[in-house]
C-alpha cells in the first residue's frame, strides 16, 4: 500500500493512502491529489502500479518535477522516457525548484488496517491576491464601502487591542459562517511569533497557532495566500459533507519589508474564494501599515518624553550654572577679570582670553557664554593645537562626501553646529597659517566653505579665543597673521596666574574638594592648617590644573581620613628636603641660588610630564627655545 505524506497545507503531515490503480496529481479538481497552485500544471504528474512497483511519471508539466533521494535531486524528464521507480523514503518535488511542493513516499506498516476509501481526495489551494481587485469586488459597492469604513475607523485609533477588535468585526461582517481570527506578533529578541489576539464568531477557539510550514511560506513569499484542505473525503461525497477547512493567511510587514507578524482567518464548511482573498489581503496590508505607524508613534512619544526630561534637567543645570560662580576667588586680580567678563558678556564682541596653561581660560569662556544672550544656544570648544591642519579644517568648517579619502558622508563643522551659539577656539596661536585666512573670512564675512563644497555656507557664531602665547610676538616673528590678530583682539582679557592671587587658594581648594567628593564620596572634606599653608606658599607653575591634580592625588593617599595632611602632599609642595638641595652651616636653610635651582627643576619636570616628554611642546609652554630646555635638563639633572 502506497502512503503519500504531503508537506504542504495546514500542518506537517497529511497522509493519503492508495492500494492500487493510478494516482493523478495536478491542479484540476478531478485529480486524485488536487493542488490548486499556479506552480502546478492541470495534470502535473501521475503514479501507477506496475507489478509490485510504483512508477512516477511527469506529464509534461510547465515547471517540472524532481525526485529527492539520498540527499540528491534528480530531474524527471517528461513523458515515458523519464519514468522513475519510486522507493520508500523518496520525496517528490513538484513545481518551483526553490520552494517546491513536497510529497513524501512512505509505506504503510505491516498489519496496518488500510483506509476504507479506495481513493482519497486531498485538495490544497494556494492562491495569491493580484494587484487588481477581482471584478466581483470592484462591482460590489457594499464591499468597497465596508472596506473604506473599516480603514477610516482603524486610522482613528492608536490602541492595538482596538485594532484587532476592528479587524475581527470587519471579517465577521464580510465573511459569513463560523470564522476564527488569529493574530501573532514577532518577539524580535527571541525571534518567535507570540499570540497577540484570537477570537471566533461562535465563541469556540480552536488550538492557537499557525503551522511552521505556513509561517515559513509567509516569511519567504511575503504575500497573502489562500489554503483549502479536504481530508477523508471520497470522490463521491458532496463537498458540504466533507468537513472543509478554508484558511487565508497574510504577513504583517513594516516599511522596510520585514515581517513582524501574521494573520490567520479560517472558516469551516464554506470555502473562501479569490474575492475574499483580495479583501483580506487589503485589510491585512492596511493593518500592517497601521501597526507599524503605531509602533513608530509610540517610539517617538517615548523619545519625546525622554528628551523632555533631559531638557528639563539641562535647563535646571543651566539655571544653576548661571547662579553659581564659575570663577572662584575674591582677590583684586580675579575681581578685575570678573568685571571685564560681565561687561562684555551681553554683547557679541570677540573676546581674546590670554593666560598661562591651567589658569582656567575655558572656564572664563563658559562664564561669558552663560551670561550672554546666547546662553540657551550651543557652546562648542575646539582645541586648535590638538589637530593637524587638514583635520582642523574639517572639524571647523565640515566637509562634503568624497572631499578626500575617508569622507564617506557629509559632515557638519563646528561653525555649523554652533550656529547662533558660541564657539571657543582654544590655543588659537597654534592654528596653521593656511587656515588663518579662512578663519579671518568667517570672522569678517560670516561665511565659510566646507572642504570640497561648491558653495559657501553662512553662520552666526560668537567667537571666544584663548591662547597662552604672546600673539604680538607671534605676529612679529611671522607665525600669526596681523589682520587676524587685530580681528581677534577686540576685547582682550588676561587671566592672572595662581601665584598672583594666592589669597584665592583656600576658596579654590574648598571648591575643588567639593567636586572631588562627587566622584569619590569618601574623599577628605578639608586640609589641615599645615597642609593649607604649604599650598598657599607654593608658586603653582601649572596653576589651577596643577592644584586640582595635586588635591586628587592627596585625596587618594589620605585614604579614609577626614583631613588631608602634609604627608599626603608632593615633596616639592610639602617643602621636604630634596637630595639636590645644599644647606648652609647646618641650618637647613637654602641659599637663593639653591632655591631657584630646586624650583626651576620642579617646573621643568612638571612641564615635561604635562606634555608627555615632548620637549618642543614643553619649551614652547615654558617660553624658551628647545636648545635652552635641553641645556637646563642636562645642567639640573632632570630625569
Per-10-residue mean pLDDT, the chain, length 639: 65 62 82 78 90 90 91 90 90 84 71 40 45 62 79 80 85 80 72 78 62 72 72 36 63 81 81 82 84 83 80 67 66 92 93 93 92 89 88 91 85 91 93 92 91 90 94 93 94 93 91 86 86 88 91 86 88 65 47 72 85 87 81 78
**What is the DSSP code (8-state) at residue 121?**
B
Q: Of 3, 18, 13, nearest to 235 (Cα)? A: 18
Nearest CA-CA partner of 183 in 148, 213, 231, 218:
218
pLDDT at 147: 80
Q: Would you state the pLDDT for residue 267?
A: 81
Question: Cell numbers at residue 165, please?
Answer: 477588535
Cell of 404: 578626500
The pLDDT value recorded for residue 14 is 60
Identify any residues that bridge with 84 across adjacent strands, giving them in sequence order: 56
Residue 406 burial (C-beta neighbours within 10 Å; 0-12, 13-18, 19+):
exposed
Opening angle at CA 407, ends 402 and 411, nearest 5 = 105
pLDDT value of position 492 = 96
> Quick check: 342 and 379 in contact, CB under 8 A?
no
Query: Do 249 and 210 form a contact (C-beta atoms < 8 A)?
Result: yes
Closest Cα partner for 92 from 107, 103, 79, 108?
Answer: 103
Q: Looking at residue 172, what is its pLDDT?
A: 83
Can you give the pLDDT at residue 583? 42
Q: Model pTM greater than 0.95?
A: no
Tell me whether residue 442 is exposed, middle or buried, using C-beta atoms within 10 angstroms of its C-beta: 0 to 12, 13 to 18, 19 or more.
Answer: buried
- Spatial contact of 266 and 247, defined as CB atoms under 8 Å apart: yes
Q: Give the C-alpha separation, 474 to 481, whole Å.
A: 8
pLDDT of residue 71: 85
Burial letters 97-132, b for 16+ CB under 10 A, else e:
eeebbbbbbbeeeeeeeebebebbbbbbbbbebeee
User: Residue 223: CB partners within 8 Å, gap ≥ 6?
Assistant: 128, 129, 250, 251, 281
Amino acid at each position: 500500500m502506497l502512503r503519500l505524506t504531503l508537506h504542504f497545507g495546514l500542518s506537517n503531515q497529511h497522509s493519503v493512502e492508495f492500494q492500487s490503480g493510478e494516482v493523478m496529481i495536478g491542479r484540476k479538481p478531478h485529480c486524485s491529489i488536487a493542488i490548486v497552485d499556479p506552480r502546478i500544471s492541470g495534470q502535473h504528474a501521475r503514479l501507477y502500479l506496475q507489478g509490485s512497483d510504483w512508477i512516477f511519471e511527469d506529464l509534461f508539466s510547465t515547471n517540472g518535477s524532481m525526485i529527492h533521494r539520498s540527499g540528491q535531486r534528480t530531474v524527471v524528464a517528461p513523458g515515458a522516457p523519464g519514468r522513475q521507480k519510486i522507493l520508500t523514503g523518496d520525496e517528490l518535488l513538484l513545481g518551483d525548484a526553490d520552494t517546491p511542493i513536497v510529497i513524501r513516499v512512505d509505506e504503510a506498516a505491516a498489519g496496518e488496517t488500510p483506509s476504507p476509501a479506495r481513493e482519497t481526495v486531498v485538495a490544497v489551494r494556494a492562491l495569491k491576491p493580484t494587484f487588481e481587485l477581482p471584478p466581483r469586488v470592484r462591482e460590489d459597492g457594499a464591499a468597497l464601502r465596508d472596506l473604506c469604513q473599516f480603514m477610516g475607523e482603524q486610522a482613528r485609533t492608536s490602541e492595538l487591542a482596538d485594532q484587532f477588535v476592528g479587524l475581527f468585526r470587519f471579517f465577521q461582517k464580510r465573511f459569513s459562517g463560523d470564522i476564527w481570527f488569529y493574530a501573532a506578533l514577532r518577539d524580535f529578541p527571541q525571534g518567535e511569533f507570540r499570540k497577540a489576539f484570537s477570537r471566533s464568531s461562535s465563541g469556540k477557539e480552536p488550538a492557537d497557532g499557525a503551522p511552521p510550514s505556513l509561517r515559513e511560506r509567509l516569511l519567504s513569499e511575503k504575500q497573502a495566500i489562500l489554503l483549502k484542505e479536504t481530508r477523508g473525503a471520497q470522490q463521491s461525497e458532496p463537498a458540504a459533507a466533507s468537513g472543509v477547512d478554508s484558511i487565508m493567511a497574510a504577513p504583517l510587514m513594516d516599511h522596510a519589508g520585514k515581517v513582524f507578524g501574521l494573520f490567520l482567518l479560517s472558516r469551516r464548511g464554506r470555502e473562501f474564494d479569490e474575492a475574499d482573498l483580495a479583501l483580506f489581503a487589503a485589510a491585512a496590508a492596511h493593518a500592517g501599515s497601521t501597526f507599524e505607524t503605531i509602533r513608530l508613534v509610540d517610539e517617538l512619544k517615548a523619545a519625546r518624553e525622554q528628551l523632555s526630561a533631559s531638557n528639563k534637567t539641562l535647563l535646571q543645570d543651566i539655571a544653576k550654572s548661571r547662579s553659581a560662580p564659575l570663577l572662584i576667588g575674591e582677590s583684586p586680580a580675579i575681581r578685575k577679570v570678573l568685571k571685564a567678563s560681565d561687561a562684555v558678556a551681553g554683547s557679541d564682541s570677540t573676546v581674546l582670553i590670554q593666560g598661562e596653561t591651567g589658569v582656567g581660560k575655558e572656564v572664563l569662556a563658559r562664564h561669558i557664554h552663560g551670561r550672554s544672550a546666547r546662553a540657551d544656544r550651543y557652546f562648542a570648544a575646539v582645541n586648535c593645537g590638538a589637530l593637524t591642519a587638514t583635520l582642523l579644517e574639517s572639524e571647523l568648517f565640515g566637509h562634503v562626501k568624497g572631499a578626500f579619502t575617508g569622507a564617506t558622508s557629509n559632515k557638519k563643522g563646528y561653525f555649523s553646529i554652533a550656529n547662533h551659539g558660541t564657539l571657543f577656539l582654544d590655543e588659537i596661536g597654534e592654528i596653521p597659517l593656511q587656515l588663518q585666512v579662512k578663519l579671518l573670512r568667517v570672522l569678517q564675512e560670516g561665511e565659510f566653505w566646507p572642504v570640497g563644497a561648491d558653495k559657501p555656507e553662512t553662520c552666526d557664531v560668537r567667537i571666544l579665543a584663548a591662547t597662552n602665547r604672546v600673539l604680538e610676538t607671534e605676529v612679529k616673528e611671522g607665525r600669526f597673521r596681523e589682520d587676524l590678530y587685530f580681528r581677534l583682539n577686540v576685547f582682550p582679557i588676561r587671566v592672572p596666574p595662581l601665584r598672583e592671587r594666592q589669597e584665592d587658594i583656600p576658596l579654590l581648594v574648598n571648591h575643588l574638594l567639593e567636586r572631588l567628593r562627587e566622584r569619590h564620596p569618601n574623599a577628605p572634606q578639608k586640609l589641615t592648617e599645615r597642609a593649607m599653608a604649604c599650598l598657599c606658599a607654593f608658586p603653582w607653575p601649572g596653576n589651577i590644573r596643577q592644584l586640582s591634580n595635586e588635591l586628587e592625588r592627596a585625596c587618594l593617599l589620605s585614604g579614609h581620613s577626614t583631613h588631608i595632611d602634609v604627608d599626603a602632599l608632593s615633596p616639592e609642595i610639602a617643602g621636604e628636603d630634596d637630595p639636590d638641595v645644599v644647606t648652609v652651616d647646618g641650618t637647613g636653610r637654602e641659599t637663593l641660588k639653591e632655591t631657584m635651582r630646586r624650583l626651576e627643576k620642579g617646573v621643568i619636570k612638571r612641564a615635561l610630564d604635562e606634555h608627555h616628554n615632548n620637549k618642543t611642546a614643553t619649551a614652547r609652554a615654558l617660553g624658551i627655545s628647545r636648545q635652552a630646555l635641553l641645556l637646563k635638563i642636562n645642567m639640573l639633572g632632570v630625569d
